[in-house]
Amino acid sequence: MCGIVGAIRSANHNVVEFLTDGLKRLEYRGYDSSGIAVLMDGKIKRVRRVGRVANMEAAAHDKGVSGQIGIGHTRWATHGGVTEPNAHPHISGDKIAVVHNGIIENFEAERSRLRELGYEFESQTDTEVISHSVRHEYEQNGGDLFVAVQAACKRFHGAYAIAVMAQDNSQNMVVARMGCPLLVAFGEGETFIASDVSAVIAFTRQISYLEDGDVALLQAGSFVKLVNKNGEDVQREVKTSGLSLASLELGAYNHFMQKEIHEQPRAVADTAEVFLDGGFIPENFGKNAPQVFQEIDSIKILACGTSYYSALTSKYWLESIAKIPTDVEIASEYRYRDVIANPKQLIITISQSGETLDTMEALKFAQSLGHKHSLSICNVMESALPRNSELVLYTRAGAEIGVASTKAFTTQLVVLFGLAVTLGRMHGLVSDEKLAAYTQELRELSGSIQHALNLEPQIAAWAQKFAKKSSALFLGRGIHYPIALEGALKLKEITYIHAEAYPAGELKHGPLALVDENMPVVVIAPHDGLLDKVKANMQEVSARGGELFVFTDLDSDYEGGVDNIHIIRTPRHVGVLSPIVHTIPVQLLAYHTALARGTDVDKPRNLAKSVTVE
């Protein structure tokens, strides 16, 4: 995790303005401490603070820090606690300053080596081996920063995106990338670097993405030198980013999560467009997809967090619509067990960010075992997962900034539904009538989501009750069980209320013991073939004095009928896409409960959006 920025700005701009603005936009990557280093009057001036970037910004302002060249970092602690000495940048001998995103796995061996060479360590971080190592090479190589970074990187095992500056070089900065995202952006006579395009977009749209193994020497306005992992001179294309600044701003909303929940009708419609305009055809997934989809005999989906729950949901569609055996696995589990590889199995990775390390490593593991075919479903263009996959279909959710994922989830579901229909159609399992019905359901999805959003006042009223609870149970059956899981995850993440989800039929095998008048039980109970079963499960809760909060739809005949049963109805049952619509109420419930409890909705404690560590 962590986010890095850096810039060489023109004479009339103070680099601190970019560094602090860029770091604020990268806070989703980690937000426990931050720091900047700026070359000022021939010396490296560093400011670091525990807490949010705003604390550090105020301190930099008080100290009057200014200059043209500088680097910055926002941290999510891995090696060493959340303290100022552990915050980046790390400086060696007042000469070399480094910011780093990633993990140097062999840092202990490197630390011993550098200690023997006389270097002293001030932090518990793995990053400090980079600053000392670069300084060592810098002194050995006659002050050539580019050569020094290249030499130092050769020693590191692990993942990194780094930016390095030297006290005696006010013109240049060196950056290197291995396994963590890094881009270089160019303005007029200016150069910026960042972990993510959102940090630079207010300053320039001219972006060049580095590849793994690249090392670049930068000056204001251009690359001076750029080499790949073999040390060969290369060029990386400069593209114009289409990301809009408005998509990164709160606008009329109080929180990004609130904005992102309300953007879902638009995000889902944009994502569905590929199928609604182009049809359910394999080419949507890449030019090789027609052949790949013919060759495969099964699917394995690898993902983490909310993306894992979208995978679980899609298993129902893939097996019922396309009749293709589908196995879903948490990426961090898959990569560490003996698996039986099947070259005919399509590996699908699902990820909002496209850079979750566990998912990336799981994909590499599958490929190393001989899995030939891979598809990435991802929200971030040019990120690691799509770049390493044979096929890709991007969700069009737009930038998601709130740590708790919302619109990424519903748009992933749209793509996965589209995949199921595409595969079903290819294999002759979806008739023309069925296809027309699916198309119509997808066309109406945005409107149904909007109806669900209109339930917000009723859900906000429920949230007042939830805010006083310390635990909650979520129940669902069939394809709505993963939605119960997602509802429990949302509540945990942003309200810190303990929440668990169960398939409703499992209640009697254990969790029923938890039910009493203090345990709210949320039930996803749409009018589907399992409603009668769910009704029986709800009786089991009522009979034990439990308080039920039921999300159902107008078509369902469920009346509750007892005092401690509360019901909210979506306007009508929306068929096969019902899990997408039923996601909205559980998102809103978590959001309003967090508001009532006064927690930090967009940046919940201990979490980060982009998890680039194991």
Which tokens in the block code for residue 232? 């060969």
Q: Which is nearer to ligand G6P, 243 or 435 (CB)?
A: 243
Q: Which is nearer to ligand G6P, 19 or 357 (CB)?
A: 357
* H, E, C per residue of 244-284: CHHHHCCCCCCCHHHHHHHCHHHHHHHHHHHHHHHCCCHHH
How many CB atoms neighbour CB 557 within 10 A?
9
Distance in angstroms (rounded) separating the CA atoms of residues 364 and 358: 10
Site string for ligand G6P, 394-433 (x = CB under 6 A): ---------xxx----------------------------
* 3-class DSSP state of 412: helix
Answer yes or no: are the C-beta atoms of 28 and 609 closer than 8 Å: yes
Which tokens in the block code for residue 211? 């590849």
Q: Which is nearer to ligand G6P, 130 or 607 (CB)?
A: 607
Note whether 611 binds ligand G6P by CB under 6 A: yes
The H or E element that residue 175 is part of is strand 169-178
Note whether 352 binds ligand G6P by CB under 6 A: yes
Q: Which is nearer to ligand G6P, 169 or 351 (CB)?
A: 351
Q: Which is nearer to ligand G6P, 351 or 495 (CB)?
A: 351
Q: Which is nearer to ligand G6P, 4 or 257 (CB)?
A: 257
Which tokens in the block code for residue 451? 């109806």
Q: Residue 518 has what DSSP assignment?
A: T
Helix, strand and coil content of the chain, in percent to the nearest 5, comes to 40, 25, 35
Answer yes or no: are the C-beta atoms of 214 and 236 closer than 8 Å: yes
Catalytic residue among 24, 95, 490, 609: 609
Please report, as residue ranges, which positions from 304 to 323 form the binding site for ligand G6P (by CB under 6 A).
304-307
Q: Which is nearer to ligand G6P, 177 or 407 (CB)?
A: 407
Note whether 3 binds ligand G6P by CB under 6 A: no
Which tokens in the block code for residue 534? 């769910």
The H or E element that residue 387 is part of is helix 384-387
- Which part of the chain contacts ligand G6P (CB under 6 A), choosing from 138-146, 250-258, 348-356, 541-549? 348-356
**367-401 per-residue burial string, b: 16 or more CB within 10 A, e: under 16:** beeebbbbbbbbbbbebbbbbbbbbbbbbbbbbbb
Known catalytic residue at 609? yes
Note whether 362 binds ligand G6P by CB under 6 A: no
Minimum distance from residue 370 beta carbon to ligand G6P (Å): 24
Minimum distance from residue 404 beta carbon to ligand G6P (Å): 6
How far, in Å, are 20, 505, 530, 567 from residue 562 at the CA level? 55, 21, 21, 11
Note whether 131 binds ligand G6P by CB under 6 A: no
Note whether 351 binds ligand G6P by CB under 6 A: yes
Minimum distance from residue 62 beta carbon to ligand G6P (Å): 33
Strands 69-75 and 33-40 turn out to be antiparallel
The interaxial angle of helices 578-597 and 407-426, nearest 10 deg, is 170
Answer yes or no: are the C-beta atoms of 401 and 408 closer than 8 Å: no
Site string for ligand G6P, 499-538 (x = CB under 6 A): ----------------------------------------
- Which part of the chain contacts ligand G6P (CB under 6 A), choosing from 54-62, 144-152, 345-353, 363-371? 345-353
- Which part of the chain contacts ligand G6P (CB under 6 A), choosing from 192-200, 301-309, 524-532, 543-551? 301-309
Which one of residues 68, 342, 356, 612 is an interface residue with ligand G6P (CB under 6 A)?
356
Known catalytic residue at 2? yes
Minimum distance from residue 193 beta carbon to ligand G6P (Å): 22
Minimum distance from residue 48 beta carbon to ligand G6P (Å): 25
How many CB atoms neighbour CB 223 within 10 A?
17
Which one of residues 26, 56, 419, 607 is an interface residue with ligand G6P (CB under 6 A)?
607
Characterise 71 by phi-psi region: left (phi > 0), alpha (psi -120 to 50), beta (else): beta
Q: Enumerate the active-site residues.
A: 2, 609
The binding site for ligand G6P (CB under 6 A) comprises 304-307, 351-353, 356, 359, 403-405, 607, 609, 611
